[in-house]
Amino acid sequence: MAYETLLVEDRGAVRVVTVNRPTVLNAIDAQVIADLTAVLEDTASREGVRALMLTGAGEKAFVAGADIAAMREMTPEQALAFAARGHAVGDLLAGLRIPTLAAVNGFALGGGCELALACDFIYAAEHAKFGQPEVKLGVIPGFGGTQRLSRRVGLARALELCLTGAMIDANEARLLGLVNRVVPRAELAAAAMATLETIAQMAPQAIATCKAVLHRGADLPLSDANRLEREGFAALFATADQKEGMAAFLGKRPASFTGR
Active centre residues (catalytic): 114, 134
- DSSP one-letter string for 48-107: T--EEEEEESSSSEEE--B-HHHHTT--HHHHHHHHHHHHHHHHHHHH-SS-EEEEE-SE
For residues 215 and 208, give the distance between their C-alpha atoms in angstroms, rounded to a whole number. Answer: 11
- DSSP one-letter string for 233-246: HHHGGGSHHHHHHH
Cβ–Cβ under 8 Å, residues 5 and 22: no
Contacts with 80 (C-beta within 8 Å, 6 or more apart), sequence order? none
Give the orientation angle of helix 204-217 with respect to helix 240-250, to 10 degrees. Answer: 110
